[in-house]
Amino acid sequence: MTSLIECQDIWKIYRVGDVEVQALRGLSLTIEQGEFVAIMGSSGSGKSTLMNILGCLDQPTKGRYQLNGIEVGQLRPDQLAEIRNQRIGFVFQSFNLIPRTSALENAQLPLFYRGLSLKEQRAQAAEAIRRVGLTGWEHHFPTQLSGGQQQRVAIARALVTSPSLLLADEPTGNLDTQSSQEIMAILEGLNREGITVILVTHEVDVAAYASREIIIKDGQVLSDRATEPRPQSVGV
């Protein structure tokens, strides 16, 4: 059986003018289906760069990345878009909801590009909104929602396509403790349902939700260990 994610000797080199930045330097990593992984590391260590590559938003300069056995490095932009649409959900630190567009329509967005009928889009988006506990807020615009609520809409958008992989780059970075806990509880729930969750964070309590902790330093894996499953959280 192939692993969900297999990275081998991945390099990512940015060139800014004459300066060359090696964001990833020969990083290798394997993640199985159903894992809950926290990636940590100091600022500039290459966490976001890695997440972008794992999420097929970007391609490595060198090295092999296989997602579900598919060699991602060889794919064209439209094929990458297809994979993002079918298999991956993103949650960003800054929510990245489309402004002046309702919560429901934001959650609908990935389905919009799947060619589903409008009715199906609505129904599935409403279900996703329900799963993040925002029933009743469907027609609110992002500006009418709190940060925590906005991030929940973003999670609804990420899970509406039933992805096998959910990537969250500092999802709680802009949130208070209370909201952070709510968001993490949702992610934990999704992981229990079988979705592989990879999350980047600077906060130890947030990382504690994961069952595996990877620390990155200078574009390489510094440590990789299984962590104690934290006590079951009570309620959401």
Axis crossing angle, helix 177-192 with helix 147-159, rounded to the nearest 10:
10
The residue range among 22-30, 78-86, 126-134, 187-195 that interacts with another protein, by the rule CB under 8 A, is 78-86
How far apart are alpha carbons 41 and 117 in whole angstroms? Answer: 43
Residues facing 199 on adjacent strands: 38, 168
The residue range among 19-27, 64-72, 79-87, 178-186 that interacts with another protein, by the rule CB under 8 A, is 79-87
Which of residues 17, 18, 20, 77 is near another protein by CB under 8 A?
Answer: 77
Query: How many chain residues interact with Mg ion (CB under 5 A)?
Result: 1
The residue range among 45-53, 74-82, 182-190, 206-214 that interacts with Mg ion, by the rule CB under 5 A, is 45-53
Say if residues 53 and 66 touch (Cβ distance below 8 Å): no
Name the one residue in this structure whose structure tokens are 């999420």. 55
Q: Rule CB under 8 A: is residue 118 a binding residue for another protein?
A: yes
Which of residues 24, 36, 39, 48 is near Mg ion by CB under 5 A?
Answer: 48
Partner that binds at residue 23, options another protein, ligand ATP, Mg ion, none, CB closer than 5 to 8 Å by kind: ligand ATP
Q: Rule CB under 8 A: is residue 127 a binding residue for another protein?
A: no
Say if residues 102 and 139 touch (Cβ distance below 8 Å): yes
Q: Rule CB under 8 A: is residue 12 a binding residue for another protein?
A: no
The residue range among 25-33, 36-44, 158-166, 187-195 that interacts with ligand ATP, by the rule CB under 6 A, is 36-44
Q: Give the residue among 112, 197, 194, 116 at the shortest CA–CA distance from 155.
A: 197
* Nearest distance, CB of residue 115 and another protein, angstroms: 6
Q: Rule CB under 6 A: is residue 23 a binding residue for ligand ATP?
A: yes
How far apart are alpha carbons 99 and 113 in whole angstroms? Answer: 18
Q: Rule CB under 6 A: is residue 217 a binding residue for ligand ATP?
A: no
Nearer to ligand ATP, 33 or 61 (CB): 61
Sheet holding 5-16, edge to edge: 19-31, 5-16, 62-67, 70-71
**Cα torsion through 224, 228, 233, 236, rounded to 10:** 10
Q: Rule CB under 5 A: is residue 45 a binding residue for Mg ion?
A: no
Sheet holding 196-200, edge to edge: 88-91, 165-169, 196-200, 36-40, 212-217, 220-226
Q: Which residues bind another protein (CB under 8 A)?
A: 52, 55, 57-58, 77-78, 81-82, 84-86, 90, 92, 96-100, 109-110, 112-118, 121, 157, 161
